[in-house]
Amino acid sequence: MMNLFRTLFRKELLDASRDKRSVMAGLYYSVGTPLLMCLLFSVLFKQLSSSDELLISIDNADAAPALVQYLANKDIRHGEGDDVKAIRLVFSTDFQQHMQQGRPATVIIDTDRANDQLQTAIRRLERELGRYNSDIATLRLMARGIDPQLMQPVDVQLQDQATPDSRGGTFLAIATLSIILTLFYAAMNLAIDTSAGERERNSLTLLLSQPLNSLQLVLAKITAIACFSMLGLLVILLVSKFAYGMVPWQQLGFNISLNADFMLFTLLIGLPLALLSASLQVMVSFVAKSFKEAQTYVTMALLVPAGLSMVTAYNIAPDYLQWLPIAAQQQAMIAYLKGSTIAMPQLLVSGLLTLAIFAGCSYASSRLLKSEKVVFGL
């Protein structure tokens, strides 16, 4: 029994490892995704980072020279040309008079708040104007012999439990999403090849004519595919460690670093997922009537894990989803990276659920192989 499994498994592994195209397709994902994200993040950061000079249009600057100088000291200046953001700051003509009289002097920020690219710049401008407000108010009170602290009846002190590793938020979620999905995408081609492909090449009937039972065959295939999923996972972890190390996270005040412990943890919780992934894809491939059809169905089926992962990443998942496979594992990875507490009940339940689905899919596949329709693709 065990010998038979080993023989089947060894053959699947050998056959799959020689399927250069499928293996490479999987590895392209594992290698390419982190690199691509590294690139995307870097570009994004350039937009988000606020330490650079912010050029806007300032109308009627002569009306408020002190404020213009204040903004200039904060690297917010009037500019001309392409680098200027579509934000117009307009000082009312009576700005100086109102200032002198202690009445509010009007400043208009003319811009499009729906424009995502301007969000950071607008917030920065508003923040600096707010600080100028409080600066001037402070001076006005002091000039009257009043303690400016009276304007701050409540001293709000925020104590942030976040660590540099935990602030990544969305980026962290996207990074873990890409890592989790490797388990599915790295094995996709192999899974289709070893099932629908095997049938299309007529070797499936020969195999099934041999003295073995179909469950052994299915398990051997799933295990072999899971091995490649795990290889993909290992590769993406290593590449991610390298690639994310190059992203200047610290400019935004946080860090995403994948250490050896995290990698081991991820490999551990990824193992059941790899089995789930392989069994699901094999089952779907067998249900399909042809290789091409299998590709379509598997792609569609993978929308489910991708969706689960996505809602987890964007933190829009209802609570019960946190008990489901993929979502729970991803939460655990995020928690691990953030250094916060891992929700063990969820992780354990979803681990068991993952294995249950793996068992279910495996059994279903073995039943399918007893069906003439499936075996002959009728």
In whole angstroms, the minimum distance from the beta carbon of 205 to other proteins comes to 6
In whole angstroms, the minimum distance from the beta carbon of 75 to other proteins comes to 9
Q: Is 152 among the residues that bind other proteins (CB under 8 A)?
A: no
Among residues 40, 43, 206, 304, which is the contact residue for other proteins, using CB under 8 A? 206
Q: Which pair of structure tokens corresponds to residue 192?
A: 């289709």
Stretch of residues binding other proteins (CB under 8 A), selected from 120-128, 232-240, 251-259, 353-361: 251-259
Among residues 177, 172, 170, which one has the least CA distance to residue 310? 177
Compose the 122-141 pattern: x for residues touching other proteins by CB under 8 A, - for all others. Answer: -------------xx-xxxx
In whole angstroms, the minimum distance from the beta carbon of 307 to other proteins comes to 32
Among residues 81, 104, 153, 211, which is the contact residue for other proteins, using CB under 8 A? 211
Among residues 254, 297, 336, 358, which is the contact residue for other proteins, using CB under 8 A? 254
Q: Is 159 among the residues that bind other proteins (CB under 8 A)?
A: yes
**Spatial contact of 275 and 269, defined as CB atoms under 8 Å apart:** no
Q: Is 42 among the residues that bind other proteins (CB under 8 A)?
A: no
Q: Is 66 among the residues that bind other proteins (CB under 8 A)?
A: yes
In whole angstroms, the minimum distance from the beta carbon of 118 to other proteins comes to 25
Among residues 104, 113, 161, 319, which is the contact residue for other proteins, using CB under 8 A? 161
Q: Is 250 among the residues that bind other proteins (CB under 8 A)?
A: yes
In the block, which residue shows the tokens 């003439």?
Answer: 372
Among residues 341, 307, 302, which one has the least CA distance to residue 327? 307
Q: Which pair of structure tokens corresponds to residue 253?
A: 């005040």
Among residues 42, 133, 202, 290, which is the contact residue for other proteins, using CB under 8 A? 202
Q: What are phi and psi of 124, to 5 degrees?
A: -65, -45
Among residues 2, 80, 113, 144, which is the contact residue for other proteins, using CB under 8 A? 144
Q: Which is nearer to other proteins, 81 or 102 (CB)?
A: 102
Compose the 357-376 pattern: x for residues touching other proteins by CB under 8 A, - for all others. Answer: ---------------x--x-
Among residues 171, 228, 249, 336, which is the contact residue for other proteins, using CB under 8 A? 249
Among residues 115, 201, 242, 268, which is the contact residue for other proteins, using CB under 8 A? 201
Q: How many residues sit in the footprint of other proteins (CB under 8 A)?
A: 65
Hey, which residues does 59 pair with through a beta bridge?
90
Reading across the β-sheet that carries 76-78, which strands appear in turn? 76-78, 54-59, 88-91, 107-110
Task: Give the number of other Cβ atoms within 10 Å of residue 238's Cβ.
Answer: 15
Among residues 92, 31, 84, which one has the least CA distance to residue 67? 92
In whole angstroms, the minimum distance from the beta carbon of 346 to other proteins comes to 25
Q: If residue 328 lies in a helix (H) or strand (E), which one and from where to where?
A: helix 327-338
Q: Is 192 among the residues that bind other proteins (CB under 8 A)?
A: no
Among residues 362, 336, 343, which one has the least CA distance to residue 275? 362
Among residues 323, 312, 315, 319, which one has the least CA distance to residue 348? 323
Q: Which is nearer to other proteins, 157 or 341 (CB)?
A: 157
Q: How far is 110 from 91, CA to CA, in rounded Å? A: 11
Q: How far is 299 from 236, CA to CA, in rounded Å? A: 20
Identity (one letter) of the amino acid at 115?
N
Q: How far is 38 from 365, CA to CA, in rounded Å? A: 39
**Burial of 187 from C-beta contacts in 10 A (0-12 / 13-18 / 19+):** buried
Identity (one letter) of the amino acid at 87?
I
Distance in angstroms between the alpha carbons of the first and the last residue of the chain:
31
Q: Is 65 among the residues that bind other proteins (CB under 8 A)?
A: yes
In whole angstroms, the minimum distance from the beta carbon of 144 to other proteins comes to 5
Q: Is 62 among the residues that bind other proteins (CB under 8 A)?
A: yes
Hey, which residues does 89 pair with through a beta bridge?
58, 109
Give the residues lining the site for other proteins (CB under 8 A). 3-4, 7-8, 11, 14-15, 18-19, 61-62, 65-66, 68-69, 73, 96-97, 99-102, 135-136, 138-147, 149-150, 157-164, 201-212, 249-251, 253-255, 257, 372, 375
